[in-house]
């Protein structure tokens, strides 16, 4: 494991972590991502995967416009993101430029996939994501198979890499941008920090839960008072009724990658973090002890999955992911 200082150096007027984080998920950047991906001239194939145990997950496959792919990259979005998030499209565009085929996977209840499964998404549903990755590898036997994720998707990518050998998943390398390290500490940080971040995620999750209730009213008969709960209480409600965990602490512990939880990692991994990330506490990144050929890179700026380089909304993180995986 080597900790290095990233080469990302934004102009002075883009050094606010809040500007980075908010512009990173802005409608302007979403449109930029759509334009950049469209410019690759790759046809998109929508796919529904059998993820085992009756679970179906949705994704989008893109191949380079010309020639045989030099590899396949599986991309995982953050919580309440989707295959159409700006960073997903921009990363796919960069990898397509590098000659890779890409598969952007929606987690359960993300994007337009709420109708595929009656059960709710939660962050410990790693097994279905691993099984979906195995199915992608079978459908598209292009090698090497690599993977990348952002925020919660980075957490999933690293846990997937941890499970890859036992699952028979031929994963050659992973990259994670601002991965969620310690969920309990992240909840604390958001509750203490600027309220905009907590409100942003609450709004998107409530909208998702309303959609689920509309589609499966017999399984999900919760009332609007439940939806008005704040993040911690709403998460505790979900854990109690829709998971096998005894309490919120056990649930958070279930998908934590803090400390030495990645010590058994055998797949080479690159992890990028911003020192000014307003969502993921920096000290937990510094305390990560992944095994294998893991490399931690710390940038001074970047916010949470921002890393914007200019007002065209180009991002360092997408170039970084493509460069690490293509290597």
Please tell me which residue in 6, 113, 151, 256 is annotated as part of the active site: 151
User: Token match 């987690």: residue?
Assistant: 107
Question: Is residue 257 within 8 Å of residue 159, measured between CB atoms?
Answer: yes
Please tell me which residue in 140, 277, 284, 301 is annotated as part of the active site: 277
Quick check: is 277 catalytic?
yes
Catalytic (active-site) positions: 151, 277, 304
């Amino acid at each position: 494991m080597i900790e290095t200082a990233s080469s990302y150096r934004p102009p002075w007027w883009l050094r606010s972590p809040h500007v980075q984080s908010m512009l990173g998920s802005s409608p302007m950047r979403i449109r930029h991502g759509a334009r950049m991906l469209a410019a690759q001239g790759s046809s998109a194939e929508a796919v529904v995967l059998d993820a085992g145990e009756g679970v179906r997950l949705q994704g989008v496959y893109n191949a380079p416009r010309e020639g045989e792919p030099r590899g396949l990259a599986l991309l995982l979005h953050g919580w309440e993101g989707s295959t159409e998030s700006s960073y997903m499209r921009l990363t796919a565009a960069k990898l397509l430029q590098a000659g890779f085929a890409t598969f952007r996977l929606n987690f359960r209840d993300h994007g337009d996939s709420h109708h595929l499964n009656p059960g709710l998404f939660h962050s410990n549903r790693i097994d279905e994501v691993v099984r979906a990755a195995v199915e992608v590898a079978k459908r598209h036997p292009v090698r090497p198979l690599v993977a990348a994720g952002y925020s919660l998707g980075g957490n999933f990518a690293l846990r997937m890499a941890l499970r890859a050998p036992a699952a028979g998943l031929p994963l050659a390398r992973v990259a994670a941008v601002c991965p969620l390290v310690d969920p309990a500490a992240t909840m604390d940080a958001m509750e203490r920090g600027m309220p905009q971040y907590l409100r942003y995620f609450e709004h998107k999750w409530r909208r998702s839960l309303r959609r689920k209730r509309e589609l499966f009213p017999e399984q999900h008969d919760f009332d609007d008072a439940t939806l008005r709960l704040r993040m911690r209480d709403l998460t505790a409600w979900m854990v109690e009724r829709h998971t096998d965990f005894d309490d919120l602490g056990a649930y958070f512990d279930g998908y934590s990658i803090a400390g030495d939880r990645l010590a058994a990692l055998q797949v080479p991994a690159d992890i990028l973090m911003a020192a000014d990330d307003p969502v993921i506490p920096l000290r937990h990144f510094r305390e990560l002890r992944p095994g294998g050929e893991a490399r931690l890179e710390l940038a001074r700026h970047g916010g949470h999955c921002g890393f914007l380089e200019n007002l065209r909304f180009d991002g360092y993180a997408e170039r970084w992911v493509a460069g690490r995986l293509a290597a």
